[in-house]
């Protein structure tokens, strides 16, 4: 049977019963877990952590865990929790210094901005590399009032996981994204279909071609084979 907890036992509260060398192990374990968690957070990407940077997100998690355990569990000495908090904050300040001084460290920790759309055409490679689906991209564009990709001059995925969209000053024809395709899919044309008098947009990348006699076999930009009518924003 476990011994009963003696309230306000200062030796237990602050130091516990562990050997002094165990505190060095705590420092080591904290550094290893912090580094591993940071790598996983970077792998998940900025979209998984909202508007906070990876370092800020990890700092909140680590401090919350260290502070909470020391508050509730009598077998967690205060000094151990304080040591974890001190190590976490020190790592955070060190990373801030490295980010400030070295651009390579900044790219590794915070990530980098990626161009997703240029002049109404999606960079399919960037979309795949950042593991973003077209539905997610189109939803973000619709939130900013975009009706078709021809309205977008440039769109970036920022390191924070948010999209920055810069609209064209002149309306151009482009791939329609409103209404949402899940609600009302656009009419599509298969390769070889005769279509006269309509500009077509590739459903994969959004590239627009002038009215053809027949729908192309494949998009020269991305290899897509499904086309729809391009529209101009009202």
pLDDT tens profile 61-78: 877 777 767 665 556 677
State yes or no: pLDDT of 37 exceeds 90: no
Tens of pLDDT, residue by residue over 82-101, are 888 888 888 888 888 888 88
What domains are defined for the chain? 10-110 (no CATH), 114-232 (3.30.240.20)
In 3-state terms, the chain is what percent helix, strand and coil (to 5)? 45, 15, 40
Closest CA to 174 of 128, 229, 108: 229
pLDDT band at 43 (very low <50, low <70, confident <90, very high): low
Q: Helices 78-101 and 21-44 meet at what angle, rounded to 10?
A: 50
State mean pLDDT over 183-195.
88
pLDDT of residue 232: 81
Q: How many CA atoms lie within 13 A of 184 on its CB side?
A: 4
State yes or no: pLDDT of 1 exceeds 50: no
**Could you tell me the pTM of the whole model?**
0.66
Asked whether the bond before 179 is cis by omega within 30 degrees of 0, the reply is yes
Phi, psi of 178 (to 5 degrees): -135, 125
Given a contact cutoff of 8 angstroms between Cβ atoms, the answer to whether 41 and 57 are in contact is yes
CA geometry: angle 188, 138, 207, nearest 5 deg? 50
pLDDT of residue 138: 94
Residue whose entry in the numeric block shows the structure tokens 């165990």: 22
């Amino acid at each position: 049977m476990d011994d009963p907890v003696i309230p306000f036992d200062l030796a237990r509260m602050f130091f516990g019963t562990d050997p002094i060398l165990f505190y060095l192990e705590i420092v080591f374990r904290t550094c290893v877990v912090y580094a591993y968690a940071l790598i996983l957070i970077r792998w998940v990407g900025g979209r998984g952590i909202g508007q906070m940077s990876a370092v800020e997100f990890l700092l909140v998690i680590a401090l919350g865990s260290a502070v909470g355990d020391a508050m509730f569990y009598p077998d967690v000495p205060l000094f151990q929790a304080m040591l974890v908090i001190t190590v976490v904050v020190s790592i955070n300040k060190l990373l801030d210094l490295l980010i400030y001084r070295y651009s390579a460290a900044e790219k590794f920790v915070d990530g980098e901005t990626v161009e997703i759309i240029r002049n109404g055409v999606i960079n399919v490679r960037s979309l795949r590399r950042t593991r973003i689906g077209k539905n997610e991209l189109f939803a973000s564009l619709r939130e900013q009032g975009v009706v078709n990709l021809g309205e977008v001059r440039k769109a970036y995925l920022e390191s924070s996981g948010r999209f920055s969209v810069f609209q064209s000053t002149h309306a151009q024809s482009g791939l329609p994204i409103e209404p949402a395709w899940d609600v009302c899919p656009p009419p599509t044309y298969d390769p070889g279909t005769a279509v006269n008098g309509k500009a077509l947009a590739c459903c994969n990348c959004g590239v627009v071609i002038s009215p053809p006699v027949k729908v192309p076999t494949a998009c020269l930009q991305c290899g897509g084979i499904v086309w729809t009518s391009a529209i101009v924003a009202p």
